[in-house]
Amino acid sequence: MLKSKTFVKKTRKGGVLKVVREHYLRDDIWCGSAACGQCPQDKPVLESDPEIDSSLCGFPHYLIPDTNVVLHQMDVLADSAIRNVIVLQTVQQEVRHRSGTTYQRLRDQSNNPDKNFYVFTNEHHRETYTEREQGESSNDYNDRVIRIATRWYNKHLQENRKDGEAPKVKVVLLTNDRENREKAQKEGLLAYTVHQYVKSLTGNPELVDRLAQVDMGESTDSDIKNEATGRVLFPEHLPLSQLQTGIKSGRFLQGSFMASRENYLEANVLVHGDESRSIFIQGHAHLNRSVNEDAVAVEMLPEDQWKCPSSMVLQDKDGDEETSEPDLGSPKVRSNAIPSGRVVGVIKRNWRPYCGVLQPSGIKEATRHLFMPAERKIPKIRIETRQAETLQGQRIVVSIDGWPRNSRYPKGHFVRKLGEVGDKDTENEVLLLEHDVPHQPFSQAVLNCLPSTPWGITKEDLACRQDLRDLPICSVDPPGCTDIDDALHYLEKPNGNVEVGVHIADVTHFIRPNTPLDQEAANRGNTVYLCDKRIDMVPELLSSNICSLRGKEERFAFSCIWEMTKNAEIVATRFCKSVICSKAAMTYAEAQMRIDDKNRNDAVTFGLRGLNALAKILKKRRIDAGALTLASIEVRFHVDSETHDPIDLETKELRETNSMVEEFMLLANISVAKKILSDFPSCAMLRRHPQPPPSNYDILIKAGKSKGVDIETDTSKSLAVSLDQATIPSEPYFNTLLRIISTRCMMQALYFCSGTLPESDFFHYGLATPIYTHFTSPIRRYSDIIVHRLLAVSINADKSFPDLLDKYKSQALCNNLNFRHKMAQYAGRASVELHTQLFFKNKVTEEEGFVLFVRKNAVQVLIPKFGFEGTIFLKSQDGRGEDSPFVFNEEESSQTAGEVKLRMFDRVVVQITVETSHIQHQKLRIRLVKPEVPGFSVPPVEASDKISQPPVKKVKT
């Protein structure tokens, strides 16, 4: 029975509610040490003879960190040198309340058997529990609890040594709180600050760099000017309790802080709970040390202080401590002012480790350096390191520790280095890390879940599947595609109707729920495509072999088969698990050729023609319903087979066959969505695309007006129609540009669980369909795996399992998938950018471009051939450049210099080079060639070639 010894009550009082809770104390919680001869434990976590070289503690010892040490020095604790740590429950719980991410990292450490982290449930242990004293603050109480546990451990390990001979293991308390340390020392305990302890580790000097610089208390000399003068640069953050009451009373608003990519002094705060509402923040003091993605509390400014975005592109250029704030405001233009506010406090920091480079420092032996993150939304970070020399020209990872009021930049510490700047593998690693893409090789546990090879279809498999091997099934994909997850067939029926089938790789046959393979795939969420690399969601054996519907091989499929009239009206739909054998795996071009080749009349070609005809009808119907065709330019690099450097690039071509496959995939997705929603009204995984708020379209309408074209945006239908009509014969590229701009007005499409939203929100705006899901790519998207499982249950082909039918878990999964999906897109784009940069290395190219946006000090130019967008700065960044010949006209958004006027959609010729002068932060530089502006534009290539030669050579050596 129960071993509850004493029986104590714990209470909570907030408002008028009083909660009484039981608190059982136990005597069956073991110490977890292998050196202990008394506790009857199976597998002690802590080693009996912990080895670490410390000049301070020259004996075997375990560490007990206090809460603040765990919170701030997680990077030190996570180092492989630090082992044999006792994590007290008190500490763990407090960390959990204060920082979710640190708590997660702490848990990872305790689950890692190599680290020997032991969680000691001290609050339920009979001898380490203590009641809080009258008038004792919660911090003091926790400190006391930690000391009691430390004392107990010391005593326990001393008294219960194994057969008397084992070396005496001691316990060392790590705390940076002076009072706590002194009290502990008075009680005869060993207590040090982390800094003392880490510096004493003679075997691991590099750990010192990882120490976080926060509240050192006894901080040494400070050479920072502002610290010396004690000047305060930022207003104080209000304490959390005041923020809470302020938010409750409506005086403050809570939201997530979204820094602007273009201007480091501007940001928007998206108000929680009211997604369409955003508050504009401008200037150092108002931003008040917020970092991108923090949860902050904002106070609205009175309306007469509202500002408008400066329409200026601004990068934090030099690392001076001066807070010279460029003149951003033109508060004269009242009409454009938008709701503005200032940050009064930070509710939750969302800091993560950041990748970037060290900014070279003027002084050679300096230990304080500035770090430039790769992500422009993140401010520079001041770090302290002794290895600056070796870190120059390297990509490194840095964590933020804190941001004092008197420091222009946040303070941080070095975590690790990734490799050389400009090296492709390093840069790939950087972009994967920056986008939080899990890219480690699959673990053995995951690989163990794979079917054994050679794999074949057995009789039992055939018994429970429909045999569709005789059907003329074929697949159409982009060239070089190895993960083929869809195939099609078309047959004419005797009754005049046709049968059309979409066959999707049956991935869920191999990925069973809750296996390590499944969990890994759920975490990865999707396959990430970089230019030269694919980061698979499932191991390659599945993705490019067993699940891939390759030509002339027998494969498992999940089939969706319709009976249609020749007018593409669906008569009946059925779903089944099947065995198929694809007759041909074609590329889009091959399929197109077959359709066009009059001499070919085999079943597959016949089917393709039938499908193509149906697809045209389906597409027209969809567009009539208001589906949008938007544009974005996708480019494809030809990669050198040996160096893997890009040697050429082309924009993707669209053929009829592309849209043929797409139409049937859409149809299959919609049919499946209907089916799973009817069978699982509360837990179907669907995809929605909300209609953007009208204000999103402002920029599009303005752009249209500048060319005298009216764009209507009331419904997706009217938008589609007005986009179709918006053509200017003399400017053939105008329509594409408009579509590119309207793509940017759109909201993100999202996965969601049907039980969490009202049915009216299921709508997919872009496709103009009331319901949609993803069914057709289970090899590369996890959402499709869930949809497959739901569909399999609803046709009785498979069993359900608890998590599948739990709408909260399902929604949590959706949130992860949405995040991964977004990050995969960003990573893909970043990879294109990286390759573009590599492509232009050592080259000077001239290309045609179009002005996409006109800003106060710059114009943004889209270069269609390479599908990227660049900024041409027209004025120096502080915005006061009198040297610039350009005059900005905000009303019609144009820049004028003498005769030349730059406006939206104007055609320009630009020169593209890679800026090599600044090796730390290579970037593409775009300069204006045409129209010529004396004193600003650069001469065409022939002339400039010679000028740019020398630096190019320098780089090569």
Partner 1 sequence: MCHKIRHPRYWLILPFKMAGLEIISDQGYRIDGRRSSELRKVCARMGVFTQADGSAYIEQGNTKALATVYGPHEVRKGRGKIQHDRAVVNCQFSMATFSTGERKSRPKGDRRSQEMSMHLRQTFEAVIVTELFPRSQIDIYVQILQADGGNYCACVNAATLAVIDAGIPMKDYVCACTAGFIQDSPLLDISYVEESAGAPFLTVAMMPKSEQIVLLEMNSRLHADNMEKVLDLATQGCKDVFAVLDRHVRDHVSESHALMTAS
**Binder to partner 1 among 11, 444, 495, 601 (CB under 8 A)?**
11
> CB–CB of 571/497 below 8 Å?
yes
In whole angstroms, the minimum distance from the beta carbon of 560 to partner 1 comes to 27
Pick 2 or 464: Cβ nearer partner 1:
2
Residues 6+ apart with CB under 8 A from 318: none
The verdict on 463 binding partner 1 (CB under 8 A) reads no
Nearest CA among 609, 469, 491, 465 for reference residue 549: 469
Pick 22 or 42: Cβ nearer partner 1:
22
Pick 23 or 616: Cβ nearer partner 1:
23
CA-CA distance, 145 to 132, in Å (whole number)?
Answer: 9
CA-CA distance, 771 to 42, in Å (whole number)?
Answer: 54
Pick 109 or 837: Cβ nearer partner 1:
109
CA-CA distance, 245 to 820, in Å (whole number)?
Answer: 35
CA-CA distance, 393 to 753, in Å (whole number)?
Answer: 46
The verdict on 22 binding partner 1 (CB under 8 A) reads yes
Pick 13 or 552: Cβ nearer partner 1:
13
Residues 6+ apart with CB under 8 A from 789: 508, 513, 798, 800, 804
Window 796-815: contact mask with partner 1 (x via CB under 8 A): ----xxx--xx---------
In whole angstroms, the minimum distance from the beta carbon of 24 to partner 1 comes to 4
In whole angstroms, the minimum distance from the beta carbon of 11 to partner 1 comes to 4
The verdict on 12 binding partner 1 (CB under 8 A) reads yes
Hey, what amino acid is at 679?
D
Binding region for partner 1 (CB under 8 A) out of 16-24, 59-67, 222-230, 820-828: 16-24
In whole angstroms, the minimum distance from the beta carbon of 349 to partner 1 comes to 16
Site for partner 1 in 517-546 (CB under 8 A): none
The verdict on 512 binding partner 1 (CB under 8 A) reads no
In whole angstroms, the minimum distance from the beta carbon of 789 to partner 1 comes to 13
Pick 24 or 826: Cβ nearer partner 1:
24
**Torsion, CA 366, CA 372, CA 378, CA 379, rounded to 10:** 40
**801 token code pair:** 């399992």
Pick 129 or 280: Cβ nearer partner 1:
129
**Binder to partner 1 among 27, 49, 131, 648 (CB under 8 A)?**
131
Phi, psi at 13, each rounded to 5°: -135, 120
CA-CA distance, 565 to 287, in Å (whole number)?
Answer: 61
Cis-peptide into 454, omega within 30 deg = yes
Pick 19 or 941: Cβ nearer partner 1:
19
Residues listed for the chain: 957
Nearest CA among 337, 341, 334, 333 for reference residue 278: 341
The verdict on 572 binding partner 1 (CB under 8 A) reads no
> CB–CB of 831/535 below 8 Å?
no
Helices marked H in 680-806? 698-706, 716-725, 734-745, 782-794
Pick 161 or 807: Cβ nearer partner 1:
807
Site for partner 1 in 208-267 (CB under 8 A): 241, 244
The verdict on 843 binding partner 1 (CB under 8 A) reads no
Pick 7 or 459: Cβ nearer partner 1:
7
Site for partner 1 in 373-432 (CB under 8 A): none
**Binder to partner 1 among 24, 152, 606, 733 (CB under 8 A)?**
24
The verdict on 17 binding partner 1 (CB under 8 A) reads yes
The verdict on 648 binding partner 1 (CB under 8 A) reads no
The verdict on 9 binding partner 1 (CB under 8 A) reads yes
**667 token code pair:** 């149809």
Binding region for partner 1 (CB under 8 A) out of 23-31, 50-58, 77-85, 481-489: 23-31
Nearest CA among 542, 356, 541, 537 for reference residue 439: 537
Phi, psi at 337, each rounded to 5°: -60, 140
Window 96-125: contact mask with partner 1 (x via CB under 8 A): xx---------x--xx-------x-x-xx-
Helices marked H in 540-655? 540, 588-596, 603-624
Q: Report how far Cα 678 is from the mean position of its chain's Cα atoms.
A: 33
CA-CA distance, 368 to 222, in Å (whole number)?
Answer: 10
Binding site for partner 1 (CB under 8 A): 1-2, 4, 6-26, 89, 96-97, 107, 110-111, 119, 121, 123-124, 131-132, 138, 241, 244, 800-802, 805-806
